Amino acid sequence: MIGSALDLDLDYSVGTALAFLGTLAALGVGHLFGDIVLQSDADAAGKGYPSNDRLAAGTHPWTGWPACLRHCASYLAAQAGALMIVLLVIPVTLPGIAAALALSGSTHAVIDRRWLVQRIVARKGCSTWPQASFWVDQALHWAAMLLAAVAAARITTITGAAGVTAAGLLLIADALRVERRHRRRVLSRPAPSDRL
């Protein structure tokens, strides 16, 4: 059922495996370059979700999205460049590449708003571990890139790529809804922490 909804070709081959591995490698290299080398200090500082204190003082909950989207644009450019290099040696379909970039970009934007990372760190009870946020952030990005590489290897049609892109847009829309709902809670009563 899922295969037909996304127009997946369910015949596995060496080519599919190579497309997956090549895409994962390219997305990973693009991730390192886009997340570290290309990201500006202003975008890194400004892309996160506002704290409860800032929300209570009247800051809009979507403050930071412009910086986040600027960062995601350069991040995706780095990943797309790395994928173009991989295409020189491994065949990956253009719909697969589009699906991978849509999945990588949408998940990257939501993760980089930082509230999901903060929630996981708090739930794990490792808030005193100085590097917890960084490693949770990276684990989420790499898990998303794993899924994006699977999408690149398996999706061969524009319909499949459009389905993944639509899912990515719905993910961002839901993140916006969560952020707006959290602000309402903060304004209605003081929240004990910055967790969503």
* pLDDT for 1: 45
For residue 2, being part of any structural domain is answered with: no
- Residue pLDDT tens, the chain, 196 long: 455 555 555 557 888 999 999 999 999 999 999 999 999 999 999 999 998 889 989 999 999 999 999 999 999 999 999 999 999 999 899 999 999 999 999 999 999 999 999 999 989 988 788 899 999 999 999 999 999 999 999 999 999 999 999 999 999 999 999 999 999 998 887 555 555 6
Place of tokens 């295409």: 87
* pLDDT for 4: 53
Q: Treating both helix axes as pointing N-terminal to C-terminal, what angle do 158-188 and 94-112 enclose, rounded to 10 degrees? A: 10
* pLDDT for 9: 53
Contact between 43 and 75 under an 8 Å Cβ cutoff? The reply is no
Domain housing 64: 11-188
* pLDDT for 13: 84
* pLDDT for 194: 55
For residue 145, being part of any structural domain is answered with: yes
Q: What is the total count of domains within the chain?
A: 1
Which of 90, 84, 86, 108 minimizes the C-alpha distance to 32? Answer: 108
